[in-house]
């Protein structure tokens, strides 16, 4: 039974049940990933950037004879932004291959179509059943990145300290827990606007103007995700020459997510990438003592960044693929198959 679902008003039992299903999915598909916690999960699912909307549905088993709440066995949400709907679907491993995944995608796709959006995108993890699933629905692969994971216990502190100071004269590094200080927001946004050499996939929003950047940081914080930034400042001009962003999510605080790393074109070749990332890892060890790993996503063509990440100790883990499809085509295809 699939029904629309609002995480804001969901019962605590439903939130707990969704975490159980998510963790069963992770155990089946990504057993090395840390399980998720309930902390701020409601906010994680409910909060969006201004101008965006997220619509969710859940699938529950039939009500139990003793009247207790039936568990959530499937979940889908779609984030509507620009002209695209970004989909996320989960089906509990105990009920897979019964058509529930297809039904959840059809439910969300119909709404995306009715709302007038053009296409649907989804991030799909390599080497999991989701690849065959989306390909069977007609989605095509548009982009592939590699996820790499760094195990902090294997990182040599002395080496890190050396890398962090290995930046050319004329720059200094600044650690900014919580995000860039307000007086640097404009310079920060300029650095992001100038360079698109980002580590992230296209489905993750990047913010290039100051207001959008503030909104994006507010949204992150509301979702229970703590941003940390290291800046390389060019002393002569005060400009932001480089930046790296890591987010520690309340939902899995032992594994942080690397977001953008940018070195502005004129400031390349001075050791900034390596130094800002090394400084970040040093700072995170004291700021987030529970942190055990950091994960990052890179385009497979981004050789310079891959090299620095390998030096820091990142190990390639999975392919992370973006798939897409035209909504009208998907709805037609799924309706025809019913």
The three-class DSSP label of residue 35 is: coil
User: Least distance from C-beta 143 to ligand COA, angstroms?
Assistant: 17
User: Least distance from C-beta 96 to ligand COA, angstroms?
Assistant: 3
Comparing CB distances to ligand COA, the nearer of 96 and 110 is 96
For CA atoms 122, 84, 249, 291, give the dihedral sign. Answer: positive
171-177 and 315-326 beta bridge pairing: unpaired
User: Least distance from C-beta 149 to ligand COA, angstroms?
Assistant: 14
Q: Which stretches of the chain bind ligand COA, using CB under 6 A?
A: 25-26, 29-30, 89-91, 96-102, 125, 128-130, 132-133, 136
Which tokens sit at 190?
């300029």
User: Least distance from C-beta 298 to ligand COA, angstroms?
Assistant: 19
User: Least distance from C-beta 332 to ligand COA, angstroms?
Assistant: 17
Comparing CB distances to ligand COA, the nearer of 98 and 140 is 98
Comparing CB distances to ligand COA, the nearer of 74 and 271 is 74
293-299 and 140-151 beta bridge pairing: antiparallel
List all residues 6 or more positions away from 12 whose beta carbon is below 8 Å from its beta carbon.
none
Residue nearest to ligand COA (CB): 101
For CA atoms 310, 315, 316, 318, give the dihedral sign. Answer: negative
Angle between helices 157-165 and 303-312 (to 10 degrees): 140
Which residue, among 132, 140, 144, 69, has the nearest Cα to 101 in the 3D structure?
132
- Exposed/middle/buried for residue 249 (C-beta within 10 Å: 0-12, 13-18, 19+): buried
- The most distant pair of C-alpha atoms in the chain lies apart, rounded to whole Å, by 73
User: Least distance from C-beta 291 to ligand COA, angstroms?
Assistant: 21
User: Least distance from C-beta 178 to ligand COA, angstroms?
Assistant: 28
How far apart are alpha carbons 173 and 267 in whole angstroms? 13
Taking CA atoms, 336 is separated from 114, 119, 122, 137, in Å, by: 18, 19, 22, 12
User: Least distance from C-beta 82 to ligand COA, angstroms?
Assistant: 22
Decide if 256 contacts 248 (C-beta within 8 A). Answer: yes
Comparing CB distances to ligand COA, the nearer of 107 and 244 is 107
Comparing CB distances to ligand COA, the nearer of 59 and 282 is 59
Comparing CB distances to ligand COA, the nearer of 84 and 280 is 84
Comparing CB distances to ligand COA, the nearer of 123 and 283 is 123
Comparing CB distances to ligand COA, the nearer of 96 and 285 is 96
How far apart are alpha carbons 158 and 283 in whole angstroms? 13
For CA atoms 189, 195, 200, 205, give the dihedral sign. Answer: positive
User: Least distance from C-beta 30 to ligand COA, angstroms?
Assistant: 5
Decide if 191 contacts 239 (C-beta within 8 A). Answer: yes
Comparing CB distances to ligand COA, the nearer of 220 and 334 is 334
CB-side neighbour CA atoms (13 Å) of 169: 0
């Amino acid at each position: 039974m699939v029904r629309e679902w609002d995480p804001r008003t969901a019962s605590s039992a439903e939130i707990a049940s969704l975490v159980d299903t998510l963790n069963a999915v992770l155990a089946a598909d990504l057993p090395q990933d840390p399980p998720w916690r309930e902390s701020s999960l409601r906010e994680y699912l409910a909060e969006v950037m201004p101008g965006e909307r997220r619509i969710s549905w859940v699938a529950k088993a039939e009500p139990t004879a003793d009247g207790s709440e039936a568990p959530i066995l499937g979940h889908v949400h779609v984030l509507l932004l620009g002209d695209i709907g970004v989909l996320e679907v989960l089906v509990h491993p105990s009920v897979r291959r019964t058509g529930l995944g297809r039904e959840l995608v059809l439910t969300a796709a119909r709404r995306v179509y009715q709302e007038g959006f053009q296409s649907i995108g989804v991030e799909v993890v390599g080497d999991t059943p989701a690849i065959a699933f989306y390909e069977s629905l007609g989605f095509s692969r548009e982009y592939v990145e590699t996820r790499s994971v760094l195990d902090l216990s294997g990182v040599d502190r002395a080496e890190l300290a050396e890398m962090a100071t290995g930046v050319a004269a004329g720059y200094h590094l600044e650690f900014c827990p919580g995000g860039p200080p307000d007086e640097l927001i404009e310079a920060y946004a300029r650095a992001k606007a100038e360079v698109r050499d980002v580590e992230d996939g296209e489905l993750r929003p990047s913010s290039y103007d100051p207001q959008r950047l503030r909104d994006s940081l507010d949204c992150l914080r509301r979702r229970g995700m703590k941003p940390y930034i290291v800046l390389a400042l060019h002393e002569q001009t005060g400009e932001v020459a480089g930046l790296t962003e890591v987010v520690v999510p309340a939902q899995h605080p032992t594994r942080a997510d690397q977001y953008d790393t940018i070195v502005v074109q004129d400031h390349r070749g001075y050791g900034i990438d390596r130094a800002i990332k090394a400084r970040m890892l040093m700072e995170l060890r004291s700021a987030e003592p529970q942190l055990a790993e950091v994960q990052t996503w890179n385009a497979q063509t981004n050789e310079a960044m891959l090299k620095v990440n390998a030096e820091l100790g990142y190990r390639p883990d999975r392919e992370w693929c973006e798939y897409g499809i035209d909504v009208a085509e998907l709805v037609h295809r799924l309706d025809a198959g019913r």
